[in-house]
A and B are shown apart, each in its own frame.
Chain A
C-alpha cells in the first residue's frame, strides 16, 4: 500500500506517502498541486500528461510514481515562466497557436525535449518528433510554425 517516496520536481524535493503504483500524473497534480500535466487518455496515446524525466519527455499517466524516485522531473512550470519563457512557449504566443490549450503541455514539453537534441530540424523531422501527440482543436499548423520559430530562436 502507501509508501514513502521522495520526488525531485522543478528542482524542489518533496516527500510523499503514496501508492507506488499510482501514475506520476496523479502525484504531480493532486499531491503536489502541479496541474500543468493534464489527463487526456491515461494510456500514453495523447501526450497531454508529458513531463521531462532527466531531460526526456515521458508520459506521466503511465509512469508509476515509484519509477520517478531519484529522477529529475521537470513540468511545464519548470520549463519556463512568463518572465523567462522557454522559446517554445514564446513561439506559441507569437503564433497565437493554442485554441482550448488543453493539449499544449504535451506539445511544448515534447518539442522542447526534441529541440534540445536537434536545433535545426527539417519540417519532416518536426512532424515525426511530434507524432503521437493529439490536438482535437486542430491547431497543428500553428504548432508546427511555432516549433520552427522556436528552433530559430534557439539557434
Chain B
C-alpha cells in the first residue's frame, strides 16, 4: 500500500509554507506589485482567499498551469471540464493544465460536489481567474516587448507581437513560479454560491477551441492499472485500524461493554464515548474480529419502526411536522376543481433507498497536538474538515481535509459519518486511525433517500382541457441530516455523542413547465421514525427527490392524457410552456419515430412477453430532459427490462460531449436500478437491507441494450449541471412504458419481479 508522503505533511507546515508542498519561492513580479508577499518567502501555494487570483490559478516555472478547484469530481470528469475551461481562457494547451481539488489546504471552499454544480457554478471563478490571468500576462508582455497589448497575440502560452513571431515571451518567463498578486472582486459568499470576477472578459463561445471538445479523462489509466490510490489505500505512519460497533436494534445504546471478550485479540482496544462504540487494533483483520467478537449489553428500546407493509399508511396517517401546501400556486385551484366536468386522481409511492456506495465508508484521521488531518472520500471535504474540527473541539483552520477518490458518491453517503467515527477513535487512542465500514454499515446504516407518497389530481372542462392540477407529496424529510457533514449533528457519531438532530424539514415539487391555468404544488413532511442515530435518517441521494416526484408527476401526465383520449407526446406539447422544453420533447419523439397512440398497446391479462414505450420529461436547475423508454415485460416472471432508452438532453453549452454522454449513461443506469430494484427493507427493530442480496441493484443482465443520446448544444447559454438531471425522468418513462406494455398502471416503486407479478395478477 502506498504511503502518500507528500500528502502527509502536517497542517502547520502547510500553513507556514514550510512543508513538502512548497514548490518554489515566490519573488515579486514587479516590486510595485508584490510588496508584502515575497518577504516571508511564502511558497507558490494558493492564498486560499476568494478575492485573490492566486487562489485559483498558478503558472509554474516550466509553464505548467495549476487550477485550484474547490469543488469535486466524483468520477464523471468534472475536473477535465474545468481544465478545459482554464486552458481555453489562458490559451494554453489542455495537457498543460493540472487541476488540484479536494484539499482544504489548497483550494478555497467552493462547496465540494453538490447539486451538479461542478461546472455550472464551480467553473465560473476558475474561468474568470484564468481570463484575468491572461489579461495580466498580456499587460506584462506589453511592457517586456515594448508593444501595446492590442498588437500582441497569444498561442500556447506564448505571447508574441502580431506578425513578428520572433518577438515573443512565454508565460513562464513572465510569471513562472511567482504570484500574480492581483485582486478579484468576490461576492463574499462561500461554497456553491462563491463568485469571483476579474477585470477581464472571458471569451465568447464562438472563440472556443478547447471547450466543446472531448478531452479524455486523466484518472482512468490509474484506475484500470490499479496504480492510483483510493481512500482505502492510504496509510499513515503509526496508524491503527478501527471499526465501529452498531447496535442490533436501532436506537439501542451500549450499557455494558465486556472488554475482556476481546482480550485474546492482539492490540485490540475498546473506545466507548457517549453512546458511540468502536474498537481499534494494529491489524485490520484484528479490528474486524474485535468488532464482531466484542460482548455488549444494549439498552432496551421500543421498536422504532412500523411494519414495512404499513410504511405508506404510516406516512398517510402521521400528523404533519411541516407543510408547504402551496409551494407553487397559480389561479384558483379549489374553484377550478369545483367547476370541473371530470376529475381524476391517483396516488404514487416510493420507498426509502440506500446510497449503498460500492464500498462502505473509509476515512483516516490523525488528531494530535491540537490539530488534525482527515483523509476522506467525501464529496465535500471542506465540510468534512469543518465537522471533524467541531467534534474534536478544534477551530476550523486547525483541521486539514484531504480528499482521495473513494467508492463513488452521489450526494450524502456514509463517508461523512466515517470521518467522524475516525476522529473520535483517533482522539481517544492518540494515534492516527483508519476506519472502514463493513458492508452492513454501508447499506444498513448510511443516510437514506426518503420514502414518500404523492397524490395528484387533475380536473378537466367539458372539452377535455386541463383546468385544474394539484400535486401533493407527503413524505419523510428531504434532509433529516444535512447533505454536508459540517456539523456533528449530521452524523451518527455526532448524534451518539450528544449532538441533537437538526433537521432541515424540507421537500420539493416537480420541475416542469406545464401551463395549467389553475395549478398547485405542495408538500408536507412527517417526523423521523427515530430521532437519534437512525439507520433510516434521510438525506440527499443523486438528484434528491427527483426520481420520486417525477415518477409520480410524469406517470400522472400520461394518466391525464389517457383520460381525455390524447397521445402522451401530443398532450405534453399542448401544455408545455417553455419553448426549449418543447424542443427537447420533440427531439426525443423524433429520434424514436414516436407513433401517436391513445391508451396502451396491450390489454391487461394474458401471458408471455410484451413490449411498450413511454415518455417522460423534466427540468432540473436549467437542464431539460426528455426520455423515451422501451421496455420488455415478461408477464410470467415479472421481469421488466428496459431494452432501450433514448434521451434528448439540453444543458446549455456543452464543455465535453463525450464526458457528458458517459455521465448521462451512468445516470440512466442508476435511475433504472432505483426504479426496478431498490427498496430498503426493515423490520420493527432494524434495517434488514444490509448487503447486495437484501438490497439488490441492477446488474449486467438487466442493463439496457442501448442508450441513445441526443445532445442539444446551446453554446450561448451558460453550462448547466449534468451530473444528476438525467436521473430524473427515467422512472416516469419506465412506468409509462410498462403501462403501454401491460395495460396496468403500477403506482408503487420499485417494479421488482414480485411486485410486477402481483400487479399483473
Contact = CB atoms under 8 A, between A and B. Distances in A.
B74 A100 contact: yes
A134 B1 contact: no
Interface string A106-128: 00100000000000000100111
14 contacts: A26-B285, A29-B284, A38-B407, A41-B692, A77-B225, A80-B225, A96-B217, A97-B220, A99-B75, A99-B662, A108-B224, A134-B699, A137-B408, A137-B670
B445 to A, nearest CB: 14
A60 interface: no
Interface in B381-435: 405-410
B408 A30 contact: no
Contacts of A76: 224-226
Contacts of A139: 662, 665-666, 669
Contact of A127 (B405, B438, B658, B701): B701
B700 interface: yes
A140 B698 contact: yes
A136 interface: yes
Contact of B224 (A42, A93, A128): A93
A136 B377 CA distance: 15
Contact of A136 (B219, B436, B658, B697): B697
Interface string B214-241: 0011011101111101101100000000
A35 B232 contact: yes
A139 B600 CA distance: 32
Contacts of A101: 75, 219-220, 223-224, 230, 405
Interface in B483-525: none
Interface stretch (B309-317, B337-345, B352-360): B352-360
B407 A100 contact: yes
B208 to A, nearest CB: 21
B369 interface: no
Contact of A102 (B2, B225, B407, B707): B407
B226 A35 contact: yes
Contacts of A142: 662, 665
Nearest to B408: A100
B114 interface: no
A39 B227 CA distance: 17
Contact of A96 (B360, B408, B662): B662
Interface in A138-155: 138-144
B192 interface: no
B514 to A, nearest CB: 29
Contacts of B410: 136
B96 interface: no
A5 to B, nearest CB: 13
A30 to B, nearest CB: 5
B224 A141 contact: no
Given A19-B285, A43-B439, 12 more contacts: A26-B284, A35-B226, A41-B439, A46-B358, A89-B224, A98-B75, A100-B405, A101-B405, A131-B701, A137-B75, A139-B666, A140-B698
A30 B288 CA distance: 13
A85 B662 CA distance: 23
A99 B406 CA distance: 11
A136 B670 contact: yes
A-B interface, 5 closest residue pairs, ranked by CB to CB distance from nearest: A101-B223, A138-B669, A99-B75, A100-B408, A36-B226
B668 interface: yes
A103 B406 CA distance: 11
A118 B692 CA distance: 28
B669 A140 contact: yes
Residue among A82, A101, A104 with the highest chain B CB neighbour number at 10 A = A101
Contacts of A48: 358-359
Contacts of A19: 285
Nearest to A99: B75
A128 B691 contact: no
Contacts of B285: 19, 22-23, 26, 30
Nearest to B355: A136
A144 B665 contact: no
Interface string A49-82: 0000000000000000000000000011100111
Contacts of B227: 77, 82
B693 A45 contact: yes
- Of the four ranges (under 10, 10 to 19, 20 to 34, 35 or more), the interface on chain A belongs to 35 or more
Contacts of A39: 232, 359-360, 436
B592 interface: no
B224 A40 contact: no
B673 interface: yes
A138 B707 contact: no
Contacts of A89: 224-225
B153 interface: no
Nearest to A39: B359
A38 B219 CA distance: 17
Contact of B1 (A30, A99, A137, A138): A30
B46 to A, nearest CB: 26
B283 A137 contact: no
Given A41-B439, A45-B693, A128 B701 contact: yes
A7 interface: no
A41 B700 contact: no
Contacts of B436: 39
A153 B244 CA distance: 46
A102 B439 contact: no
B694 to A, nearest CB: 10
Given A131-B701, A140-B669, A46 B692 contact: yes
Contacts of A140: 669, 698-700, 703
A30 B705 CA distance: 40
A136 B407 contact: yes
B438 A138 contact: no
Interface in B225-282: 225-227, 229-230, 232-233
A102 B230 contact: yes
Nearest to A93: B220
Contacts of B217: 96
B76 interface: yes
Given A35-B232, A108-B224, A141 B407 contact: no
B704 interface: yes
A140 B699 CA distance: 8
B98 interface: no
Nearest to A143: B700
B697 A45 contact: no
Interface string B672-702: 0100000000000000000111000111110
A136 B356 contact: yes
Contact of B357 (A127, A131, A136): A136
A135 to B, nearest CB: 7
A42 B439 contact: yes
A23 B286 CA distance: 12
Contacts of A46: 358, 692
A113 to B, nearest CB: 15
A92 interface: yes
Nearest to B673: A138
Contacts of B699: 130-134, 140
Contact of B216 (A35, A96, A99, A105): A96
Contacts of B226: 35-36, 75-77, 105
Contact of A104 (B2, B223, B697): B223
Interface string B192-223: 00000000000000000000000011011101
B667 interface: yes
